[in-house]
Amino acid sequence: MKKTSTRLADGRELIYYDLRDDRVRDAVDRRPLERTVTTSEVRRDPLLGDSVAVASHRQGRTYHPPADECPLCPSQGDRLSEIPDSSYDVVVFENRFPSLAGDSGRCEVVCFTSDHNASFADLTEEQAGLVLDAWTDRTAELSHLPSVEQVFCFENRGAEIGVTLGHPHGQIYAYPFTTPRTALMLRQLAQHKEATGGENLFDAVLERELAGERVVLASEHWVAFVPYAAHWPYEVHLYPRRRVPDLLALDEDARSEFPRVYLELLKRFDRIFGDQEPPTPYIAAWHQAPFGALEEFDGVVRDDFALHLELFTIRRTSGKLKFLAGSESGMSVFINDVPPERAAQRLREVASQ
């Protein structure tokens, strides 16, 4: 992998990740952009104890542009985009309309390929491996920022999810706090460790799932399963067999095998509802241990956390979406219409289609 860092016309950082070491990235951003002005602010909710990012400047972000005006495609002639060069393998840049900025963290965009009409599932294993390298590198770099406590790499795919740019891409959020979802896991981890005399909860969950009927795909270094209490109609958790706290700690064997396993999972997601349905909308979310202090979680150290990816869709059946209505949105109690065992069976069935 070759990494080249440069600056866009308004001062934002842009980084090329190339498969070839001889690629030269010296294209200049020719757009007449002024410096980006953001109004991001993190506010603490005193009743729930969680945080909300208030970012009014995002109201003006690019919204469903035509394909020939996509800001994530390479620049061509007089059609200038966020990427100054005429081609790229993988590119990462600071979001022009970030939810988090300055002392409130940082937001980045990750473009998986220059092919506007592709999806992550269309990547070759080599290309998917390069994306993994980019995620890992950004996790390392962002962890050194003084305001950053947790790094979150994710992909939103599909208009139903709320994606406003059709180009295959994901995002990275660098939060100035430990997210509520992670804090819940850490509290459960601490309680289980104390109650069992030191057993790791993630290890116990993985062992139970390996012995059950919800495993979707198992390889030498990775295991994918539908969790016992899945929140979403079709939800898969992907774990490395060897527990590590973050992407940085993956060994070479796990890194080498990841592209094949993950691409297979994404292809199965696109087959769930049959060929007559549009591509399956999904969210793919990497859960990594926070880099901040863990004193509030008694007895838990960073290495107790287990890196894993959660992949889920909001489509519950053909032509129907799972909406977060009263119970989910009002009380955070999910109601799942698809039994996890049935979801796992379906994801196994579509392997050979």
> Which three-class secondary structure string do you get for 45-78?
CCCCCCEEEECHHHHHCCCCCCHHHCCCCECECC
62 CB-side CA count, 13 A: 15
Note the pTM of the prediction, 2 decimals: 0.95
3-state DSSP helix/strand/coil percent for the chain, to nearest 5?
30, 25, 45
Bridge partner list, 76: 79
- For residue 348, what pLDDT is reported? 97
Q: At what angle do helices 180-195 and 201-210 cross, to 10 degrees?
A: 90
Phi and psi at residue 97, to the nearest 5°? -125, 70
Task: Give the Cα separation of 92 and 17 in Å (integer).
Answer: 8
Cα separations in angstroms, 59 against 3, 39, 62, 96, 312:
32, 11, 9, 12, 27
- For residue 34, what pLDDT is reported? 82
Task: Give the Cα separation of 312 and 282 in Å (integer).
Answer: 5
Q: Give the residue from 25, 1, 4, 2 showing the smallest Cα distance to 13.
A: 4
- For residue 37, what pLDDT is reported? 74
Contact between 175 and 100 (Cβ < 8 Å): yes
Contact between 291 and 151 (Cβ < 8 Å): yes
Catalytic residue among 169, 192, 237, 308: 169
> Could you tell me the two tokens for 101?
């900025």
Phi and psi at residue 346, to the nearest 5°? -65, -40
Active site residue 116: no
CB-based burial, 96-107: b 16+ in 10 Å, e otherwise: bbbbbbeebbbb
Cα separations in angstroms, 341 against 213, 216, 347:
7, 10, 10
pLDDT along the chain (353 residues), means of 10: 97 97 96 83 92 81 77 96 98 95 94 97 98 98 96 96 94 97 97 97 98 97 98 98 98 98 97 87 98 92 98 94 95 96 97 67
Cα separations in angstroms, 201 against 226, 288, 314, 334:
17, 15, 27, 22
121 CB-side CA count, 13 A: 14
Task: Give the Cα separation of 77 and 86 in Å (integer).
Answer: 8
